[in-house]
Amino acid sequence: MYEQDSHAILNEIIDEIKPEIRKQELHHFYTRLGGNFFGILKLFRHLYGGRSDFKLQLKHLVETMARQYIARPKKFKKTDLAREKDSNWFLHQKWVGMTLYADGFADNLEGLRKKIPYFEELGINLIHIMPIMDCPRGASDGGYAVSNFRRINERVGDLEDLRAVAREMAKREMLLVMDVVVNHTSDEHEWAVKARQGDPAYQEYYYMFGDRSIPDMFEQTLPEIFPQHAPGNFTRIEEIDKWVMTVFNTYQWDLNYTNPAVFIEMMDIILFWANQGADILRLDAVAFLWKKIGSTSQNEHEAHLILQLMKDCCQVVSPGVLFIAEAIVAPVEIIKYFGENALDAKECEIAYNATFMALLWDAVATKNARLLYQGIKNLPDKLERATWLNYIRCHDDIGLGFGDEDIRQAGYDPRPHRDFLINYFAGKFKDSDARGLLFGENEKTNDARISGTLTSLIGLEKALDEGDLQKVDVIIKHILLLDSMLLAFGGIPLIYYGDEIGTLNDYSYIKDLAKANDSRWAHRPKIDWQKAARRSKSGTVEHKIFSELKKMIAVRKEIDAFADFNNREVLEVSNPRLFVFVRTNHRNPGDRVLVIGNFDAHPQYLDLAEVAGVLPDGSSRLLDLYSGKAPGMFKDRLVLPPYQFYWLTGQ
Ligand code: GLC
Ligand code: GLC
């Protein structure tokens, strides 16, 4: 295909586009469309070029974009222009996020808006509200089974409430992150209802089969995501005697992206949420977007093409809006969701750093950083204009997603090592303080994942039950060590709501039929605001965690070397209990911060000679930026008490 070809097609579409669209003030839209059209056409043709209605579908796509551009509020168009000029704006270290359920954190959106001062108090300026769109009343996978993508669940409020939240946040320069569940819909969604009534056009929105022959073929290679409560990947729809693909729960129907109508609908929905004031959209389960017989149907090349096309279309209508890829997959696969062979992210600007998350948990259980070091050393560099979302806990289970090769290089045998970790977090060893729950146990593959809050997994629940106050303090240090790694690593730290006040597992889900078989609910708390109030009372667990975290966030924001510009290097040191990396200010290479964490319950030391040359020559004394004090030293050895971390600079 040549550029001329692309111009000709674009001109043809614009000529045909509805007159009321042509009349609008679309200057920026046309410029951006012109700039991106070659890419859009190429991708759209690759995905859908074989269809006879290809051009008509392409025209629908352009019309959809134009309509959403026209609907885009002026203030967001202004933000788009500003962000286009300052395109690395999100790599700055000032961003610190929190992820939450609107009804778990507060009762509803109005309550959430009133709690904005709480975020400000802690220093949070990016808020990810998990799905709040209409979903079934009973089981809805925590809102990830959407029955209407354009309506807000009345239990948390309505669109006006959300806009009010967005306005308040914008006033305070906070970013709003919202979910778009792109891979599937609830079986109560209008499309699913029509498909179930026999409408062939809507049956085409999903993967539906008249008998088991194709499903059986798929099953040979498809893994099971929820092997316990939703085994298999297809569900029978009695009314029409068909099988529909349901990779997650039986009530979550996978969308069929081989149908361009599905792509266009979803693009429209993405742009709709951009127009409600979301700064960043979290695209859910993106690894699953394309299905192929004979494969795991994860991370397929076409899934990447769909994301590239979504990004290109978003660039035309709302270029200030970023995407987060939720792809909890192998390290070498995650990195591809930024887009390959480019400097700028061509797919999602931000991706969950599931690798770092899982590695940190390994270091917690083993009390050393061998695998953590190995895994991070082997983590490929990300693109320049892209960043990680770093987290310790989120609403999902913890999967031990690091590679077997990394485990071997760290000196372990993969299978027993993974078993050890699972058993450790399930609290099966005498010396394990963890109170985790198993999730997704699969007898066929012998796999399992882990549920539980950060605090219960580290051991706070057990220590409190035992009334061991000394231990409580050590565990708090352990929690803060993990926070310190997140905040220094490079990328956007995302704190899981409740962790800032040491929230423990909540076992009440067992009594709720819609939740009982999904242990992830143990770590999806309803915030107890009386407990939260204790954050102001010194001596309490809440105060110890909250106040230190608050300070850590404030200090992070002042450290330029913590901005994310591929400016991190992990260092190999002889003491495996320590995890050590250096961050360099991209504008001033002499300005460096040496980050050190002791993952052991006993004091450790590091010979400074091992990190000689990392800090600027001539700096005779070290300063820990976090505490504002000199670190523990004995002669030329740096001393780290149990679970101590330092953010060191020379002075
Ligand atoms: C994502 C969500 C998870 C959900 C799944 C299916 O992984 O984070 O909670 O179960 O997608 O929507
Ligand atoms: C996600 C992840 C998986 C996770 C699940 C939700 O898509 O791929 O690791 O466990 O869905 O729990």
Q: Using 50, 70 and 90 to split pLDDT, how confident is the model at 166?
A: very high
Distance CA 398, CA 394 (A): 9
Ligand 2 neighbourhood includes 174 CB (under 6 angstroms): no
Ligand 2 neighbourhood includes 399 CB (under 6 angstroms): yes
Q: Give me the residue label for tokens 């509803």.
A: 108
- SS3 (DSSP) at 350: strand
In a mutational test of the pocket of ligand 1, which residue from 140, 144, 228, 246 has the highest number of ligand atoms less than 8 Å from its CB? 144
Query: Is 216 domain-assigned?
Result: no
Q: Give me the residue label for tokens 């089981």.
A: 139
Distance 352 CA to ligand 1 centre (A): 13
Contacts of 463 (CB under 8 A, 6+ apart): 433, 471, 472, 475
Atom of ligand 2 nearest to the CA of 285: 7
Among residues 352, 384, 407, the one where a domain terminates is 352
* Longest distance between any two alpha carbons in the chain, whole Å: 79
Ligand 2 neighbourhood includes 136 CB (under 6 angstroms): no
CATH number at residue 275: 3.20.20.80
Task: Note the pLDDT tens digit of each residue in 466-508.
Answer: 999 999 999 999 999 999 999 999 999 999 999 999 999 999 9
Q: Using 50, 70 and 90 to split pLDDT, how confident is the model at 618?
A: low
569 is annotated as an active-site residue: no
Distance 232 CA to ligand 2 centre (A): 15
Distance 598 CA to ligand 1 centre (A): 33
Range of the domain at 2: 1-182+258-352
Residue nearest to atom 10 of ligand 1 (CA): 141
Distance CA 563, CA 568 (A): 10
284 is annotated as an active-site residue: yes
Atom of ligand 1 nearest to the CA of 145: 12
Residue nearest to atom 3 of ligand 2 (CA): 328
Cα dihedral 394, 432, 526, 496 sign = negative
Distance 226 CA to ligand 2 centre (A): 8
**Ligand that lies nearest to the alpha carbon of residue 248, given by its number in the listed order:** 1
**Alpha-carbon 397 to chain mean position:** 13
DSSP class of 91: G
Query: Is 327 domain-assigned?
Result: yes
In a mutational test of the pocket of ligand 1, which residue from 189, 324, 396 has the highest number of ligand atoms less than 8 Å from its CB? 396
Contacts of 413 (CB under 8 A, 6+ apart): 407
Q: Using 50, 70 and 90 to split pLDDT, how confident is the model at 4?
A: confident
Q: Is the per-residue pLDDT at 617 higher than 80?
A: no
Task: Note the pLDDT tens digit of each residue in 241-254.
Answer: 999 999 999 999 99
Ligand 1 neighbourhood includes 439 CB (under 6 angstroms): no
Contacts of 422 (CB under 8 A, 6+ apart): 400, 438, 448, 450
Residue nearest to atom 12 of ligand 1 (CA): 144
Q: What percent of the chain has pLDDT over 90?
A: 92
* Beta strand spans in 386-475 (E): 387-391, 437-442, 447-451
Instruction: Give the angle subtended at the CA of 206 by the CAs of 200 and 208, to the nearest 5°.
Output: 70
DSSP per-residue codes, 20-57:
HHHHS--HHHHHHHHHHHHHHHHHHHHHHTTSTTHHHH
For the segment 501-516, the average pLDDT, to the nearest whole number, is 96
Ligand 1 neighbourhood includes 326 CB (under 6 angstroms): yes
Point out the catalytic residue in the list 254, 265, 268, 284.
284
Ligand 1 neighbourhood includes 179 CB (under 6 angstroms): no
Distance CA 432, CA 380 (A): 33
Among residues 295, 326, 352, the one where a domain terminates is 352
Q: Is the per-residue pLDDT at 186 higher than 80?
A: yes
Distance 459 CA to ligand 2 centre (A): 24
Long-range own/partner contacts, residues 527-531 (CB < 8 A, 24 or more apart)? 527/104, 527/105, 527/106, 527/497, 527/498, 527/501, 527/503, 528/503, 531/501, 531/503
CATH number at residue 623: 2.60.40.1180
Ligand 2 neighbourhood includes 142 CB (under 6 angstroms): no
Task: Note the pLDDT tens digit of each residue in 533-567.
Answer: 999 999 999 999 999 999 999 999 999 999 999 99
Query: Is 300 domain-assigned?
Result: yes
Q: Is the per-residue pLDDT at 341 higher than 80?
A: no
Among residues 334, 352, 370, the one where a domain terminates is 352
pLDDT value for 71: 97
Residue nearest to atom 6 of ligand 2 (CA): 396
Task: Note the pLDDT tens digit of each residue in 58-106.
Answer: 999 999 999 999 999 999 999 999 999 999 999 999 999 999 999 999 9
Do 638 and 596 contact (CB within 8 A), yes or no? yes
Structure tokens at 24: 């609008």
For the segment 330-347, the average pLDDT, to the nearest whole number, is 88
pLDDT value for 2: 64
- 3-state DSSP percent of the chain in helix, strand and coil, to 5: 45, 15, 40
Distance 555 CA to ligand 1 centre (A): 33
Distance 449 CA to ligand 2 centre (A): 10
Query: Is 274 domain-assigned?
Result: yes
Q: Using 50, 70 and 90 to split pLDDT, how confident is the model at 159?
A: very high
Number of domains forming the structure of the chain: 2
Query: How many residues make up the chain in this entry?
Result: 651
Point out the catalytic residue in the list 326, 362, 397, 560.
326
**In DSSP terms, which residues pair with 604 in a beta bridge?**
640
The amino acid that residue 411 corresponds to is: G
Ligand 2 neighbourhood includes 328 CB (under 6 angstroms): yes
Query: Is 224 domain-assigned?
Result: no
**Ligand that lies nearest to the alpha carbon of residue 442, given by its number in the listed order:** 2
Task: Note the pLDDT tens digit of each residue in 581-598.
Answer: 999 999 999 899 999 999
- Average pLDDT in the chain: 96
Distance 466 CA to ligand 1 centre (A): 35
Query: Is 302 domain-assigned?
Result: yes
Query: Is 192 domain-assigned?
Result: no
Atom of ligand 1 nearest to the CA of 226: 10
Query: Is 334 domain-assigned?
Result: yes
Other beta carbons less than 10 A from residue 574's beta carbon: 8
